[in-house]
Amino acid sequence: MKPRFFMQWRQPAVAAAVSQEAAGSAPPASALAPAKGHKPVHQGLSDRALAWLFVGPTIVLLLAFNIFPLLWTIYLSFTNFRANKPNAEISWVGISNYQRVLGDEAIWLNMRTTAHFLCWSIVLELLLGFALALLLNRRFRTHSFWSTAILLPMMLAPAVVGTFWKYFFEPQYGIFNYIVSFFGGPEKFTMLGDVNLSPWAIVLVDTWMWTPYVMLILLAGLRSIPPYLYEAAEIDRASEWTKFWRITVPMVMPFIILALLFRSIENFKMFDLVDQLTNGGPGSVTELASIHLKREAFEKWRTGYASALAIILFVAIYGMSLVTVRFLDKVKQR
Amino acid sequence: MSKLKSTLWRTLAGAALAATALGAQAQEKSLTLCWAAWDPANALVELSKDFTAKTGIQMKYEFVPWPNFAQRMLNELNSKGKLCDLLIGDSQWIGGAAQEGHYVKLNDFFDKNGIKMSDFMPATVTGYSEWPKKTPNYWALPAMGDAVAFTYRKDWFARPELRAEFKQKYGRDLEAPKTWDEFKQVGQFFQNRTIDGKKVYGAALYTERGSEGITMGVTNALYAYGFEYSNPAKPYDMKGFVNSAGAAKGLKLYKELYDTVTPPGHSNAYMTENLDAYKSGQVAMQMNFIAFFPGISKDPQVGGEKTGFFAIPKGDKQFAQLGGQGISVVKYSDKQPMALEYLKWFAQQSVQKKWWDAGGFTCNQAILNAPGFDKSTSYAKVFLDSMKMVKDFWAEPTYAQLLLAMQNRVHDYVVAGKGTPQAALDGMVKDWTEVFKEDGKLK
């Protein structure tokens, strides 16, 4: 039963069609299509006005908080503006900020660090996420509890996770050293203070936090595979490995690529977790591009230069996403 | 009935208006003081009650934790915010704040009210008030004298068995170190030692990477072996001064200390981390700003007779890194006359005396040079000695870029172990030259 005002608001022909539908008979297609030359009679707003009413605020917000800052950043990237010199004149410097960014050795080091973090964390998250998804896809007795428990890390704020793990890795009283030594590892080592270990500490924490997210996506993928495919394979006496390799993996592949896309974008711009955990140190070994950007923009106040760097990073993320989406389309078309 | 209603509404509206007016009046008679959130700020809250009692001006406070202090306050100034009427800002900010017009210039006010800069310790006037340096242009009143120094576990140093072992090993008494070589020996002596069943370490040094920590620590060792920010005869001429052989020796020493006397994992430590390491009984010695020493003296675990204090040790020379701040009137404040009234009150000698007694660190010479001052507290002598040998980091408007460049170069060498001390200092000259060129100070 539709509310009365709903019926009144609709065009008479549509209302009649809806009534017909409610009565059990299919409405004629012409009833739902707008009649030629017929001027809709509304008691309230027109369709167009209503559409603007819904979409308008979103467009205004989008322009105010996304498009305008983006255009402003593009403008600033061609100037020598510094946010700590609000009274100084802004001069146009052409592409020199871009030249400086691309010629800066430190940026390439940061990009290499970012790539290292990105690759390893995504590989580990996909492997572990897939394994967990396969496990939880078998409906055992307590699987609901475990599904929820596994999801807990991703529900925490990255800054909180960073702070929490910093204490966890603390060599004097952190539990991480205790666990490692319990299993026969060295008694005291400094995970965050060691140049060789600290990049892995970040990969480890990110994997801990975001594997459940990957698992969730892949679990959805596993649940979407029609059971008859496995039944047919069983009739053909296919082995477990064949079923996994020939059915599961291809069917889940779009979801894997989707997870890869989401995690790549997120990890490329990862900031708060690393900021809390190592703040880019020791030395500069964990200084990701995003950390470097923050230092340039809000500590060194080189706003124009930082804007150019932000645009370059934006283009890199956009390009990476575009390639992944194209790949995803190809996989889906197979 | 309607008449009664109307009367009621009128009464309520009148009361609301009166309340708003009173509120606005109360608002008018108040000042907001911005500073870092630490022990001296609490002392200032207590002290300022006298100001409120005398003038009727209410004091409000915006205290920001140290890790966010610079960013929060510099954002406030750069956006011409009206949050702070008075700001106790770091010494390095003075150049930028003066150049960008964030602070009120105080020369006329000082002259009119008989406030003489000669009443304050010269190093603090140069460090906290002047821009350009060594010129009589004042943008702040020296408020909080501070420098880097050390605390040490006097009770551990007094243990007969440790004293005997130390004497046998080094041929001298186990005392607070006076030179950097002695410091290294004492630190290494305590490193990985077990005291009262607990493993302890030599010293907590500044190693923080993100803001200014390692710079505030390493400069003490650099100054000791001849590091200069630039040629005294030619400003911004840094080659051979920043990266002199002596400076490289100082940097190498600091790395050696980091490697051999600090606790494991002490790779990103500044004021709070060092306090934690010391108060929890992990280290025999702690580098920190003297402003924290009253709190340590009162600490139930390590306070009283358990702790002693010593100034930055000597190398070829002896200098301590300046900390501390001046108090300035913010240009964007609508309450500048009241804020200036606060400065006038704060500059009085009687108030400065109370400031010291409350746990603040006065810069007033008459109080500092008064007989018996050095014995007034357990850390008074260290404060006096340190303030006579302070040096400050660049206070240029571009100080943030200069600072972060040094942070990166030094942390890369000392903590991450990349390259050589000479390469780190050469890199610093390169970075700083670029900053000064960009700023138009160098061609």
Stretch A77-90: mean pLDDT: 87
How many angstroms separate the CA atoms of B121 and B137, rounded? 16
B130 bridge partner residues:
B138
Q: Which chain B residues have a beta carbon less than 8 Å from that of A299?
A: 71, 400, 404
pLDDT value of position A93: 94
pLDDT digits (tens, 9 = 90+) for B340-393: 999 999 999 999 999 999 999 999 999 999 999 999 999 999 999 999 999 999
- Written as six digits, the tokens of B4 are 């009664």
- The full 3-state SS of chain A, as one line of letters, equals CCCHHHHHHCCHHHHHHHHHHHHCCCCCHHHHCCCCCCCCCCCCCCHHHHHHHHHHHHHHHHHHHHHHHHHHHHHHCCECCCCCCCCCCCCECCCHHHHHHHHCHHHHHHHHHHHHHHHHHHHHHHHHHHHHHHHHHCCCCCHHHHHHHHHHHHHCCHHHHHHHHHHHHCCCCCHHHHHHHHCCCCCCCCCCCCCCCHHHHHHHHHHHHHHHHHHHHHHHHHHCCCHHHHHHHHHCCCCHHHHHHHHHHHHHHHHHHHHHHHHHHHHHCCCHHHHHHCCCCCCCCCCCHHHHHHHHHHCCCCHHHHHHHHHHHHHHHHHHHHHHHHHHHHHHHC
Structural element, H or E, at residue B89: strand B86-90
What's the pLDDT score for residue A44? 77
Percentage of chain A exceeding pLDDT 70? 87
Best residue in B68, B78, B90, B414 for a mutation probing chain A (most A CBs within 10 Å) = B78
**Shortest distance, CA A170 to any CA of chain B (angstroms):** 7
Cα angle B210-B211-B212, degrees, rounded to a multiple of 5? 125
pLDDT at A3 over 60: no
CB B150 within 8 A of CB B336: no
Quick check: B411 and A84 CB within 8 A? no
Q: In a mutagenesis test of the B interface, which of A96, A293, A300, A303 is the best target, namely the one with the most B β-carbons within 10 Å?
A: A300
Give residue A6's pLDDT.
Answer: 40
Q: Is the pLDDT of residue A1 over 60?
A: no
**Residue A140: pLDDT band by 50, 70, 90 thresholds?**
confident
| Selected residues 17-46 of chain A with any CB under 8 Å from a CB in chain B | none
With beta carbons less than 8 A apart as the criterion, state whether A332 and A254 touch.
yes
- Across the interface, whether the CB atoms of A299 and B404 are under 8 A apart is answered yes
- Neighboring chain A residues of B270 at a CB cutoff of 8 Å: none
Give A28's Cβ-side CA count (13 Å radius): 6
CB A246 within 8 A of CB A174: no
How far is the C-alpha of B214 from the C-alpha of B410, rounded, in Å? Answer: 7
> What pLDDT score does B53 carry?
97
For residue B290, give the nearest of B323, B255, B257, B246 by alpha carbon: B323
pLDDT in tens, A4-49: 444 444 444 444 544 554 455 555 544 445 545 455 555 678 899 9
A86 and B101 in contact by Cβ < 8 A? Answer: no
Indicate the SS3 state at residue B399: helix
pLDDT at B5: 57
Each residue of A245-260: b (16+ CB within 10 Å) or e?
eebbeeebbbbbbbbb
The CA–CA distances, whole Å, from B6 to A48, B1, B2 equal 46, 9, 6
Helical axes A158-169 vs A175-182, angle rounded to 10°:
60
Whether A110 has its CB under 8 Å from any CB of chain B: the answer is: no
DSSP class of B90: E
Q: What pLDDT, on the 0 to 100 scale, is given for residue A186? A: 80
| Gyration radius of chain A over CA positions | 27
Q: Give the pLDDT score at A188.
A: 72
* Token code pair at residue B196: 């009262």
Residue B436: partners with Cβ closer than 8 Å, 6 or more residues away: B236, B398, B442
Which of B347, B287, B359 lies closest to B41, judged by CA?
Answer: B359
Q: Using DSSP, state whether B115 is helix, strand or coil.
A: coil
Phi, psi dihedrals of residue B63, rounded to the nearest 5°: -105, 125
Closest CA to B181 of B112, B253, B235, B246: B253
The answer to whether the CB of B92 falls within 8 A of the CB of B403 is yes
CA-to-CA dists, residue A320 to A29, A266, A291, A311, B424, angstroms = 45, 12, 20, 14, 36
Non-local (6+) Cβ contacts of B424 within 8 A are: B251, B409, B410, B412, B413
Residues of B with CB under 8 A from a CB of A: 71, 74, 78-80, 96, 100-101, 209-210, 263-268, 282, 397, 400-401, 404, 408, 411-413, 415-418
One-character DSSP codes across B326-361: EEEEBTT-S-HHHHHHHHHHHTSHHHHHHHHHHT--
Regions of chain B short of the pLDDT cut 70: 1-28
Which of A79, A81, A84, A275 to probe the B interface (max B CBs under 10 A)?
A: A84
Among chain B residues, the shortest Cα distance to A296 is held by B401
ipTM: 0.78
Backbone φ and ψ of A267, nearest 5°: -75, -30
Confidence of residue A314 (pLDDT cuts 50, 70, 90): very high
Q: Which two tokens stand for residue B219?
A: 């400069």
d(C-alpha A259, C-alpha A255), whole Å: 6
Q: Tell the burial category of A306 from Cβ atoms under 10 Å away from its Cβ (0-12, 13-18, 19+).
A: buried
Q: Which residues pair with B141 in a beta bridge?
A: B327
Q: Is the peptide bond before A158 cis (omega within 30 degrees of 0)?
A: no
pLDDT of A25 = 52
Residue A230 CA to its chain's centroid (Å): 32
User: What are the backbone dihedrals phi and psi of residue B287, each rounded to the nearest 5 degrees, phi first?
Assistant: -85, 130
Q: What is the pLDDT of residue A10?
A: 44
Shortest CA gap A88–chain B (Å): 8
- Tokens, residue A73: 């950043």
Tokens 């390493």, residue? B218
B264: nearest CB among A188, A278, A300 = A188
Nearest C-alpha in A relative to B407: A283
Written as six digits, the tokens of B221 are: 């060792």
* Cis bond upstream, residue B132 (ω within 30): yes
Q: Kindly compute the dihedral angle of the four CA atoms of residues A58, A61, A62, A65, in this order, to the nearest 10 degrees.
A: -160
- The answer to whether the CB atoms of B400 and A281 lie below 8 A apart is no
Average pLDDT (A247-257) is 95
Across the interface, whether the CB atoms of B416 and A283 are under 8 A apart is answered: yes
Query: Is the CB of A280 inside 8 Å of chain B's CB atoms?
Result: yes
Inter-chain touch A301–B400, beta carbons under 8 Å: yes
How far is A276 from chain B, CA to nearest CA, in Å? Answer: 11
DSSP state of B211: S
**Residue B84's CB: how many other CB atoms inside 10 A?**
26
Residue B313 DSSP code: P
Nearest to B415 among A282, A298, A302 (CB): A282
The angle at the Cα of A163, spanning A162 to A169, to the nearest 5 degrees, equals 85
